[in-house]
Structure 1
Amino acid sequence: MESILEVKSLQMHYMTSHGAVRAIDDISFNLFRGETLGLVGESGCGKTSLGTSLLRMPPPPGKYLGGEIILNGKNIIPLSEKEIRKNIRWRSISMVFQGAMNCLTPVFTIGKQMLETLNEHLSMPRKEAEDLISEYLQYVGLSKEVMHRYPHELSGGMKQRVVIASALFLKPSVVILDEPTTALDVIVQAQIINLLKRLKQQFNLSFIFITHDLALEAEIADRICVMYAGKIVELGSNEQIFGSQGPAHPYTQRLLNATPLLFRKTKQLEFIPGTPPDLIAPPKGCRFAPRCNKVFSRCYEEEPPLISLEEGHLCACWLHQQ
């Protein structure tokens, strides 16, 4: 399969007055053309920080300390902000941010906001630009009249569709979706997921789908990447994570045991005791060790590397490296 995005040893820390918060700490993975990579983990594990880092816009005081982001064969880390804005962001890689209402300016119409984004990247007559915007609004199931409405005149699902259309109309090859169904009711969630599946096939898109919902990832993702405390602890195909053998890492196992699943009978739902570590001063050894139910002495001394258990299945746990 063709790799469209490759991340190599990426480090992005938040440089605070109390020290460096290791939000993204030596992460490597790739994304293939036409696939959906699911990104899961607890709040604060670095999922959204990774998404914004891939877009070359980590929120202040975020700073890259190392690594590469190779998009379509080109490392985008050294590029200037001007080149990123003009040629990379939204044209090659775009993002649907969490909370559609926060992405839309309440005093501008939908059409004006989308037109502003379009004009930043492409030069075309206004009529042609409006036709393009209308076309993509129809792709996401909205009428062209939505262009003339303000955000407060739209429902939550309609606003989410507008944000998705805005992320697609410059035809990027990679789209990052940061919890696109949050705060939507169950029926609208299903509509948005079905819409994303259709658009993925129609435009041959590659998705990075960020969510807390493992059941949702099982439905939409081809591969699952599990993050904990700024690191990847497990990466595998949908079948390797959700299949009969189940996940390999104790953290993924406990996440799955805390999720009600309709297709299997479960015992009482479990929870993970304790809290995630302080990323300014993470613990020595495995970062999950203080909360792990399978911990042993080596876990507190050495950090486990991410190794291959079988083709396409990676895990960072000493249980599998005896």
Structure 2
Amino acid sequence: MSDLLKVENLKMFYHTSKGQVKAINDISFDMKKGETLGIVGESGCGKTSLGTSLLGMPSVPGKYESGKIIIDGENIIELKEEYIRKNIRWAKISMVFQGAMNSLTPVYTIGKQMLETLNRHVEMDKSEALKLIEEYLGYIGLHSSVANRYPHELSGGMKQRAVIAAALFLKPKLIILDEPTTALDVIVQAQIINLLKKLKKEFDLSFIFITHDLALESEIADRVCVMYGGKIAEIVRNEDIYKNAKHPYTKRLLAATPRLKKSVSKLEFIEGVPPDLLKSHKGCMFYERCKERIEKCKTEEPKIKEIGSGHYCTCHLIS
């Protein structure tokens, strides 16, 4: 399979009155067509910042510092906003943002908001556009009458489906899903995951699935990218993460995850808090919380290296 997306040495910092927050600090990875890449880690590790950066719209006051985001041979970082809005965003890459209610305007109907998305990208007769809206609502399991309803009239699951429908409109190659099942009960969560699997096959999609839930990631991802402190700790195939994780942070996350098929006498937790990305750091970002650290970890930053087929790790302990 050919590369769909290639990210090279990406840096995106938030420029604040207190200094630069290094939210994305020298990240590289690639994705193949039809692949689902999971992005996991604690809150504050840079998952959402990575998602919005790939979309060409880092949140204010975020700015690209360096690197490349290449899709279809074009480096998004070098393109003008007007071109990205017309030809890249929602046309090649779209995003389902965290919390459907935050993505929907409460005073507009679902149909009007979906119509606005269409109008910003393509010229289409209104009756034709409304027909297309009904068609896409059908794809995600909602009745056409939902187009005339306001967000507060829908359940959490229905709102999330409507946001997913809007992300599909222009038939993008890649959809970024940022915690798409947050605040949903387990039954609706399972329905959304099954819907995404169905849509991936039906529309030949690729996904970047952002979550803090490793168990949920295992349901949908082909590879898992573990982030910590604005950097990549480990990239590993989904089928290998539970039996062959190498980075101490990945192993601690797994130890804190409940298992259905394995008896666990006690769930672990990771002492301390993620690093302050406003401050300069020497050595490994995980040093202060790592139980396996060595002296070298304190002063020398580890480099990411391939330790197996498609398996990458950023740790001095891995030879």
Q: Identify the TM-score tier after normalising by the shorter chain.
A: over 0.9
**Cα distance per residue 1:40-64 (max 9 Å; x no partner):** 0000000000000000111111010
What is the match of residue 124 of structure 1? 124
Root-mean-square deviation (CA, aligned residues, Å) is 0.8
TM-score, normalised with respect to structure 2: 0.99
In 2, Cα distance between the equivalents of 1:291 and 1:76?
A: 36
* Partner of residue 261 from structure 2, selected from 263, 266, 288: 263
1:90/1:167 contact within 8 Å kept: yes
Instruction: Using the TM superposition, name which of 78-87 and 42-51 deviates more.
Output: 78-87
* Partner of residue 313 from structure 2, selected from 290, 312, 315: 315
In 1, Cα distance between the equivalents of 2:94 and 2:21?
A: 25
Q: Please give the secondary structure, in 2, of the residue aligned with 1:49.
A: helix
The yes-or-no answer on 1:229 pairing with 2:229 is yes
What is the match of residue 191 of structure 2? 191
What is the match of residue 109 of structure 1? 109
Gaps of 5+ in 2: none
In 2, Cα distance between the equivalents of 1:197 and 1:182?
A: 18
In 2, Cα distance between the equivalents of 1:283 and 1:87?
A: 38
How far did 1:73 drift?
A: 1.8
In 1, Cα distance between the equivalents of 2:143 and 2:60?
A: 37
TM-score, normalised with respect to structure 1: 0.98
In 1, Cα distance between the equivalents of 2:89 and 2:265?
A: 46
What is the match of residue 272 of structure 1? 270
**Cα distance per residue 1:261-317 (max 9 Å; x no partner):** 112222311011111111111431001011000001000010000011111000000
1:5/1:69 contact within 8 Å kept: yes
Q: Please give the secondary structure, in 1, of the residue aligned with 2:312.
A: strand
Amino acid at match of 1:175: I
What is the match of residue 15 of structure 2? 15
**Cα distance per residue 1:198-234 (max 9 Å; x no partner):** 0000011000000011001111100000000000010
In 2, Cα distance between the equivalents of 1:294 and 1:121?
A: 51
How far did 1:249 drift?
A: 0.3
What is the match of residue 281 of structure 2? 283
* Partner of residue 249 from structure 2, selected from 245, 248, 251: 251
What is the match of residue 293 of structure 1? 291
Q: Please give the secondary structure, in 1, of the residue aligned with 2:276.
A: coil
In 1, Cα distance between the equivalents of 2:212 and 2:168?
A: 24
What is the match of residue 85 of structure 1? 85
Q: Please give the secondary structure, in 1, of the residue aligned with 2:198.
A: helix
The yes-or-no answer on 1:172 pairing with 2:140 is no
1:36/1:206 contact within 8 Å kept: yes
Count residues with an aligned counterpart.
319
Amino acid at match of 1:207: F
In 2, Cα distance between the equivalents of 1:288 and 1:65?
A: 23
Runs of 4+ aligned structure 1 residues displaced above 4 Å come to: none
Amino acid at match of 2:29: F
How far did 1:18 drift?
A: 1.1
How far did 1:17 drift?
A: 1.2
1:109/1:150 contact within 8 Å kept: yes
Instruction: Using the TM superposition, name which of 262-271 and 223-232 deviates more.
Output: 262-271
The yes-or-no answer on 1:2 pairing with 2:14 is no
In 2, Cα distance between the equivalents of 1:122 and 1:22?
A: 36
